[in-house]
Amino acid sequence: MPSTARPVIYLDTSVALAHLLAEDLRPPEALWDDTLVSSRLIKYELWAPLHGRGLAESHGEAAQALLGRIAMLELAPTVLARALDPFPGPGSPRTLDALHLASCSYLADHGQTISLASYDRRMNAVAQAMDIPLFDMARP
C-alpha cells in the first residue's frame, strides 16, 4: 500500500556541513523548502568538525538554527539492530553511515516516503541498492 505521509528528505551530515561551511559544493536552495529529518547522530557529526576546526563560535548559531529545522529520529533499538545486518550494494557502509541508512530504512518500513540527500558516494550507492531514492542535489 503506498504511503499517504508527506514526503521528507533524510539529511546526511555531508550536506549540512557543506551548507554551514559554504563549501564549493552546496545543496540547492530547494532542499530547505522540504521537510527534513535525520538521525540524532547529525548533531554530533556536525559539532565535532566545527569544534575541531575552531569554528564553533563563528558557526554555532547557524548550526543550532539548522539543527532546529530537522526532525530528529532517535537511535531506537530497531534502528540499531538494522545497522547490524548486512547492507546490499557495493562495499559496506562505514559505521555512522550504516546508522543513517538504518534510520532511512526504519522510516521507509514505517510508511514514510523519503529521499536521501547526501554527497557521500558510497552511502548513495548503498541507499540505491536499498531502493531509497536520492534527492536530486543538482536541482535548483
Per residue in 46-90, pLDDT (tens digit) is 999 999 999 999 999 999 999 999 999 999 999 999 999 999 988
Number of separate domains in the chain: 1
Q: Give the side-chain half-sphere CA count within 13 A for 48.
A: 7
pTM of the complete model? 0.91
In this structure, is residue 61 part of a structural domain?
yes
Predicted local distance difference test score (pLDDT) of residue 1? 42
Q: Which residue has the cell 559539532?
A: 47
Predicted local distance difference test score (pLDDT) of residue 137? 86
Predicted local distance difference test score (pLDDT) of residue 48? 96
Of the two residues 36 and 26, the one the predictor is more confident about is 36
Q: Is the pLDDT of residue 139 over 80?
A: no
In this structure, is residue 3 part of a structural domain?
no
In this structure, is residue 2 part of a structural domain?
no
Predicted local distance difference test score (pLDDT) of residue 69? 96
Mean pLDDT of 112-125: 95
The CATH number covering residue 109 comes to 3.40.50.1010
Asked if 126 contacts 22 with a C-beta cutoff of 8 angstroms, the reply is no
Amino acid identity of residue 16, one-letter, is A
Q: Is the pLDDT of residue 4 over 70?
A: no
Per residue in 27-42, pLDDT (tens digit) is 888 898 899 999 999 9
Q: Give the pairing type, strands 8-11 and 36-39.
A: parallel
In this structure, is residue 58 part of a structural domain?
yes
In this structure, is residue 1 part of a structural domain?
no
Predicted local distance difference test score (pLDDT) of residue 140? 55
Which residue range forms the structural domain that includes residue 61?
Answer: 8-129
